[in-house]
Amino acid sequence: MADISQTRPLTRSSVKEAHELIKPHIHETPIDTSTTLSKLASTPQSPEALKGTIYDGQTPAKPKIRLFFKCENYQKIGAFKARGAFHALARLSDEELEKGVVTHSSGNHAQALALAARTRGVPAYIVMPTISTPSKIAATKSYGASVIFSGSTSQEREAVVAEVIERTGAVLVPPYDHPDIILGQGTMGLELQAQVEDLLGKKPELGVRHGRERRHEGLDAVITPCGGGGMLSGVATALSGTGIRVFGAEPSFEGADDARKGLAANPPRRVTTVKSLTIADGLRTPVGKIPWKVISNKDKVRGVFAVSEEMIKDAMRLVLERMKVFVEPSAVVGLATVLYNEEFRRLVEREAGEEGWNIGVVLSGGNTTVEAIAKIFAAPTESAERAGGVLGMQGERVAENVAG
């Protein structure tokens, strides 16, 4: 990769530069809205849902929320990672790329780098865990990359990458821990802000403050998934100084909520290892050193919240069945936080008051299969029953399914 000392600073203006560089190679993904999910987000959770939590017996939060979904599942290669990969390669010369590029990834960055490398006409060597989703492995190979398998931990992946570099001389393009990757991922934040402002200018009734005396309305907050932290830190960089609050979301299963735990430590510290088999397979990595510098800055990231596997399943079911949008589990952790994390919901209720918040939710990708989804929902579970009940009750409250 480009020497970090020579890269652009992590600023909003640098994200704008990155956007101009990659525009020819990426899609401006659409914004979607859902009346059903916005009303569900604005409806208090049932007392039963809070049993066993620190909020057991307390009055559930009733935030006022309107949701705006940034559909990166429609991005090239089916995920946001194309942004960072194309930007990283755009910052490298033909001479630097002569011997190709190498990375390690469970799937989405793998496909993104393979496509970007093919566009530049250079070899790509991709180290993938043996437990990677078969469809992601096949897609990576279809872009012409050489796939080398490794263990699932970050240490195992990095060891194989080092071997490839020694053998081929390829340039390392890390999946998240580099300024060029972060700036590339941040371009979705620029688009999200501008698209929602444009949408509300045309359809003000979609906004949370419609009917109040307000000349201009836009986003109040954005929430993104957080694995290695490239997307979260990039969006936070893009929106820094705009007044839009930025939050992160993680799965809690087997310690995958490393960013949340790191921020909660006294003093805050980066957790360096994660060993989790959460269904949100794109979020199984620890936050990188450079993303951590942004994420641990409260002026840029207001907080990171965690959700259970059951909550992720419930949110995924809602997106699939109500929005008719095809997503992978990692994509919905932000939505799960808005719907089910009572700490986050109380924060919105407390800070937004009667006005409420327009919240941008990044749906980060859709690289999964019908077979993989079927396995997630194969057996009747408490999650499925709870989601079905929620859907049924919500169907009674809301006449229409989807708006926008």
**Alpha-carbon distance 149 to 159, whole Å?**
11
Radius of gyration in angstroms for the set of CA atoms belonging to the chain, rounded to a whole number = 20
398 contacts: CB under 8 Å, gap ≥ 6: 35, 36, 39
The DSSP code sequence of 80-136 is THHHHHHHHHHTS-TTTTTT-EEEE-SSHHHHHHHHHHHHHT--EEEEEETTS-HHH
The amino acid at residue 249 is A
Separation of first and last alpha carbons in the chain: 41
Query: Cis omega (within 30 of 0) on the bond before 267?
Result: yes
**Alpha-carbon distance 11 to 236, whole Å?**
9
Catalytic residue among 81, 136, 300, 313: 81
* CB contact at 8 A, 339 and 310: no
**Alpha-carbon distance 199 to 8, whole Å?**
31
Strand partners, 221: 245, 359
* CB contact at 8 A, 330 and 227: yes
Judged on CB neighbours under 10 Å (0-12, 13-18, 19+), 243 is exposed
Q: Give, to the nearest 10 degrees, the angle between helix 179-202 and helix 230-238.
A: 60
**Alpha-carbon distance 308 to 306, whole Å?**
7
Q: How far is CA 60 from the centre of its chain?
A: 27
Catalytic residue among 34, 42, 106, 296: 106
Catalytic residue flag (residue 330): no
Structure tokens at 37: 């999910």
The count of C-alpha atoms lying within 13 angstroms of the C-alpha of 130, restricted to the half-sphere facing its C-beta, is 4
**Alpha-carbon distance 91 to 102, whole Å?**
16
Catalytic residues: 81, 106
